Homo-oligomer: A and B are copies of this chain.
Amino acid sequence: MTAGPLPASPVGLVGLGLIGGSLGLDLQRRGVAVRALVHRPQTAERARQRGLAQEVSTDPAVLADCALVVLALPLDRLLEPDPALLAALPRQAVVTDVGSVKQPVLHRWEPLHPRFVASHPMAGTAQAGVEAGQVDLFQGCPWVATPGPGTDPEALAAVQMLAEAVGARWLCCEAGEHDRAVALISHLPVLASAALLQTADRASRPEACGSPQLAALVRALASSGFADTTRVGGGNPALGTLMARCNRSSLQAALGAYRGQLEQLEALLEQADWPALEAELERCRQLRPAFL
């Protein structure tokens, strides 16, 4: 929990999954009034039991008096917003989102609301849904805003106050740069990691390798290194697909660059150029700390 100024109250949360639920818990602990809109009555009931907001409703009217509304929705629902939600968003409220791809969100929402700010809190766990929200999720994590030329500076400052109130590290950059960056450090790793699982599975099948035992052996011998490297590839398939769909061109560019790097490593093996391979791996060892 950090100190610092509090965001305008009440805050409205649209969706109470991992991000929305965690925001609700943290903001209430800081004394901010929180109202939430959810889709299903069962979710509302459970959210009330968990105390994720002071008021939880399936009626968009719950947002009526909110000074700041956070659209904590999956990318697809953000890009094709419910007309009832749009109608219920107060025109004077600051509105932000939490989507992991920013260019299409900014493009879609700038014409929809005068005080929209595209943003992306980069906090995640493997959890999702109404049970996932937890206190202090954002502590020390980046919260990136990607203002466009039309973004209201006061609205941007209000979202910064929200981010900092829950302990996040505030950053601003251009939406396209954000999307290229997350393609390289988040979306590409999901596919690279998934392909490792697929390869260990498929290349060890009897019809692929001629051995009836290899499939069981790879499963018995896989250790912490394999577990770490495949964690993001074994994650939420719907989320991974949405990221790929919404960030397609940046991800395609990243995949192309990745394939090029792999081909260079393959060439070193082909040439048995061990000093060059060791130099590349040494460079990777030196590179990694800057990404931690």
Residues of A in contact with B (beta carbons under 8 Å apart): 122, 124, 141-142, 144, 171, 173, 177-178, 180-182, 184-186, 188-204, 208-209, 211, 213-214, 217-238, 240-241, 244-245, 248, 251-259, 261-263, 265-266, 269-270, 272, 274, 277-285, 287-288, 290-292
Select from chain B the residue with minimum beta-carbon distance to A261: B195
CB neighbours (8 Å) of A203 from chain B are 184, 253-254, 257
15 A-B pairs with C-beta separation under 8 A: A141-B223, A177-B217, A184-B200, A188-B199, A195-B262, A199-B258, A202-B261, A203-B254, A222-B292, A226-B291, A228-B232, A230-B291, A233-B284, A238-B278, A262-B262
- Which residue of A190, A213, A230 has the most chain B CB atoms within 10 A of its CB atom? A230
CB neighbours (8 Å) of A219 from chain B are 290-291
CB neighbours (8 Å) of A272 from chain B are 245, 248
- Which residue of A185, A233, A258, A279 has the most chain B CB atoms within 10 A of its CB atom? A185
CB neighbours (8 Å) of A288 from chain B are 197, 230, 233-234
Contact status A202-B257, CB under 8 Å: yes
